[in-house]
Amino acid sequence: MPEEIVGRVLRLVGYTAYRWEFQESSLSLTIWVRQASSRPFYTCSGCGIGSERIHSVRERRVRDLPWGAWKVHLVIEVHRVYCRRCGVCVERIEFVEGKHPYTRRFAAAVARDCEDAAVRRVAVKWGLSSQTVKRIDKRSLLAWAQRRRRRPLRQMGVDELFWGKGKCLTVVSDLLAGEPIWAGPERKKATLDRFFVEYLLARRRRAVKAVCVDMWQPFLDSLRQHLPKAAIVFDKFHVMRHVNAAVDETRREEFFRQSPHLRAAMRGKRWLLLTRWHNLSPPKRTQLKAALALNRRLFKAYYLKEQIERLWSYTYERAALRFLDEWVKSLRWQRLPAFQNLALTLLTHLDGILAYCRHKVPFGVVEAINGNLRSLIRRGRGYRDHEYLILKAQRSTAQARLALAA
């Protein structure tokens, strides 16, 4: 009778429990199991064909899911058998994961917990080391990634992620799939070169039509070398960061030129100046208008910033070029050195800015991926293993998408 109950609770197909031992001091239960059949049959772990001839037997102890308050270990008879193809070979046991000291369902439970809790907390819950939990989680993610269909990379994003003290990561993403695909340390040409060697082999590169990237020379050098035919599109958010920097510099210059009472009026308006007009609430707009009325140059700077956004609304390169030309001309006699420098930057990177007319890459996706990675890093306290970080991000993106679809 107890054998039957233990067997039913365990639910290991084809196996039966024949002995168990409770250890009160450590709340640990050990159960010995073996094949139930009177004529046992073994599968070769090398080639998968069956065999009945046993070479030798030994016992193997693996961790299984807990029963109530008890921590459970199984002791399994593992046979070495004579295989027609491989010679002497260890049998395959379906419910154990490879050579690891736990059952498949145990690993699956740990991996499931890792989906919404930090590795450290999962480790405490299961009484495992952080490294073990991380290894289980990564293996499960790798298996999941291998089951997915790998689509050709058509639109690629390259971005850098900064966090902590001077730590930086180069992140490559698939913009159409909306997920990161690779990450590497620092942001050198060598970093991106490594991506092409490790991930995107030569025969896969032809599919890439456009790359969204910022105006960072080392990346551009690597892209020219490995993807000579792909169009390079400069990330709008990065270009706008340069524009905002020019507004800010103008603000600072004007701030120091002004008399004290004007300075007081302009204090604390930085945020207003850097926000787009249509994102401001009516009272904020009134505040900004009042501040801009006091200083003509600042007004001009703000106006120029609002104008340049239109550059990304064109479908015809010539029209965009004409617009930019007008914009640069309107800088004349304005005495805005920060904007003169900005114009120079825009003109030297003209190709990559105008390329957006032909290749409408989704700029927002790059930012979203970046934000997702950042929150993962914050929760996990730094992922030194970049492959693991990327797998985590892909999995959470896929799940968010599933939740949305449901």
Binding site for Zn ion (CB under 5 A): 44, 46-47, 83, 85-86, 89
Nearer to Zn ion (CB atom), residue 47 or residue 293: 47
Q: Which C-beta is closer to Zn ion: that of 45 or that of 173?
A: 45
Output 88 or 272, the one with its CB closest to Zn ion.
88
Amino acid at 208: V
Please identify, using beta-carbon distances, which residue of 83 and 128 lies nearer to Zn ion: 83
Q: How far is CA 104 from CA 65, 155, 178, 310, 320, in A?
A: 10, 38, 31, 56, 58
Nearer to Zn ion, 81 or 266 (CB): 81
Minimum distance of Zn ion from residue 45's CB (angstroms): 8
Q: How far is the CB of 47 from Zn ion (least distance, A)?
A: 3
* CA nearest neighbour of 77 among 48, 34, 39: 34
Least distance from Zn ion to the Cβ atom of residue 84, Å: 7
Question: Given the complex with Zn ion, which of 47 and 347 has the nearer CB atom?
Answer: 47
Residue 83 CB, shortest distance to Zn ion, in Å, is: 3
For Zn ion, the closer of residues 85 and 241 by Cβ is: 85
Residue among 87 and 371 whose Cβ is closer to Zn ion:
87
User: Least distance (Å) from Zn ion to the CB of residue 131?
Assistant: 32
SS (H, E, C) the chain: CHHHHHHHHHCCCCEEEEEEEEEHHHCEEEEEEEECCCCCCEEECCCCCEECCEEEEEEEEEEEEEECCEEEEEEEEEEEEEECCCEEEEECCCCECCCCCEEHHHHHHHHHHHCCCCHHHHHHHHCCCHHHHHHHHHHHHHHHHHHCCCCCCCEEEEEEEEECCCEEEEEEEECCCCEEEEEEECCCHHHHHHHHHHCCCHHHHCCCCEEEECCCHHHHHHHHHHCCCCEEEECHHHHHHHHHHHHHHHHHHHHHHCCHHHHHHHCCCHHHHHCCHHHCCHHHHHHHHHHHHCCHHHHHHHHHHHHHHHHHHCCCHHHHHHHHHHHHHCCCCCCCHHHHHHHHHHHHCHHHHHHHHCCCCCHHHHHHHHHHHHHHHHHHCCCCCHHHHHHHHHHHHHHHHHHHHC
Q: 């004529």: which residue's tokens?
A: 39
CA distance 169 to 322: 37
Nearer of residues 74 and 89 to Zn ion, judged by Cβ: 89
Axis crossing angle, helix 282-293 with helix 296-308, rounded to the nearest 10: 130
Give the shortest CB-54-to-Zn ion separation in angstroms. 14
How many angstroms separate the CA atoms of 380 and 130, rounded?
11
Least separation in angstroms between residue 82's CB and Zn ion is 9
Instruction: Tell me the closest approach of the beta carbon of residue 157 to Zn ion, in angstroms.
Output: 46
Nearest approach, Cβ of residue 61 and Zn ion (Å): 25
Q: Which is nearer to Zn ion, 83 or 354 (CB)?
A: 83
Nearest approach, Cβ of 56 to Zn ion (angstroms)?
16
